Amino acid sequence: MDPIESITPYKDSSLAMMLEAQARGWQVHYFLMDDVFLDNGIAMGRYKTLTLYDDNQHWFDYGDSGECRLDTLDAILMRKDPPFDLEYIYCTYMLEQAEENGVLVVNKPGSLRDCNEKLFTRVFPQCCVETVVSRNPKILKRFIEQHRDTIIKPLDGMGGKSIFRIQAGDPNTNAIIEAVSKDASSQCMVQRYIPEISAGDKRILLIDGVAIPYALARLPAPGENRGNIAAGASTRAQPLSERDQWLCEQVGPELRARGLLFVGLDVIGDYITEINVTSPTCIRELDRDFDLNISANLFACIEQKLSA
């Protein structure tokens, strides 16, 4: 995961998972990405054990530290936030080595590499709004002119960073495309603008392809187009609609087949806009508003797979 000192405890999903693991009698080993390495083809890690507390002022204590073969662990949860860069990819190769020696890695390292959170939507065209992916300004501008009101974003970001709304005729169109595509050197995604963003960008969590029956709608702040909590959005928990449930049924079997055990769908109106596989969040908000324990569902699933 990312440094535990820097998390926001009351809304951190990784902390919720660790608290549940501890409650079940698991020993929690904590690794940063630079703690993972290969030694003569063996995946290794420098760890610290943790004692966790559900306390916003004091949420952990360090215990023992040491070095271990990753294949001596029962399960590894990969919870490093994007950016999804080459360093992230290199780490998945090392985790894959541990997986090949019998460790359950959540989510499956090969699928983390294959399933870019923006591009993975291509597998489910029936669930998605009109979209183009390119780094060619002419192609991007043609799509913007065709659909008149659009959203553009990079393929490797999170938290609403570098997401812009472009309407046909916007004098800043060229500058925005240059910025997001890094002067036509990086692929980006443009989607038709979905007006229902005003009702929230819904986060739906799935465990082994099965949806938690509630969504967290993230409502853009006044003057904002982005439904991201990091961009100031407020939240409202709500039951899944029939359309939400249908979308989850469309993607669930594929998630299960790819070993994507814990996934967050982003849904605006009737459409999936992203499929978050690296470090989905919103556990604690849904737990609080609907008296759930989503981490317990996840660890029950993990334990079932370990005993299979």
CATH code of the domain covering residue 159: 3.30.1490.20
- Residue 302: its pLDDT value, please? 98
Query: Does residue 34 belong to any structural domain of this protein?
Result: yes
Domain that holds residue 77: 4-109
Query: Does residue 276 belong to any structural domain of this protein?
Result: yes
Q: What is the pLDDT along the chain (308 residues), one digit of tens a residue?
A: 999 999 999 999 999 999 999 999 999 999 999 999 999 999 999 999 999 999 999 999 999 999 999 999 999 999 999 888 899 999 999 999 999 999 999 999 999 999 999 999 999 999 999 999 999 999 999 999 999 999 999 988 766 678 999 999 999 999 999 999 999 999 999 999 999 999 999 999 999 999 999 999 999 887 776 666 666 778 899 999 999 999 999 999 999 999 999 999 999 999 999 999 999 999 999 999 999 999 999 999 999 999 98
Residues 164 and 147 in one domain: yes
Active site residue 80: no
User: Cα–Cα distance between 67 and 44 in angstroms, integer?
Assistant: 7
Is residue 84 classed exposed, middle or buried when 0-12, 13-18 and 19+ CB atoms within 10 A define those classes? buried
Q: What is the number of domains present in the chain?
A: 3
Going through 199-285 in order, the beta strands assigned E by DSSP cover 201-207, 210-219, 234-239, 262-268, 271-276
- Residue 226: its pLDDT value, please? 65
Task: Give me the catalytic one of 118, 192, 258, 284.
Answer: 118
Task: Give me the catalytic one of 117, 156, 274, 287.
Answer: 274
Active site residue 118: yes
Q: Which long-range contacts (CB under 8 A, 24 or more apart) does 28-34 make?
A: 28/52, 29/68, 29/73, 30/1, 30/4, 31/1, 32/1, 32/2, 32/3, 33/80, 33/87, 33/88, 33/91
Task: Give me the catalytic one of 153, 202, 258, 284.
Answer: 153
Residues 56 and 94 in one domain: yes
Residues 9 and 98 in one domain: yes
Residues 41 and 88 in one domain: yes
- Residue 82: its pLDDT value, please? 82
Active site residue 288: no
Active site residue 284: no
Task: Give me the catalytic one of 48, 108, 226, 284.
Answer: 226
CATH number of the domain that 228 lies in? 3.30.470.20
Active site residue 276: yes
Task: Give me the catalytic one of 80, 192, 202, 218.
Answer: 218
Amino acid in position 288: R
- Residue 232: its pLDDT value, please? 73
Active site residue 172: no
Query: Does residue 279 belong to any structural domain of this protein?
Result: yes
Domain boundary among 193, 208, 232: 193
Task: Give me the catalytic one of 48, 108, 203, 258.
Answer: 203
- Residue 222: its pLDDT value, please? 79
- Residue 152: its pLDDT value, please? 97
Active site residue 203: yes
Active site residue 153: yes
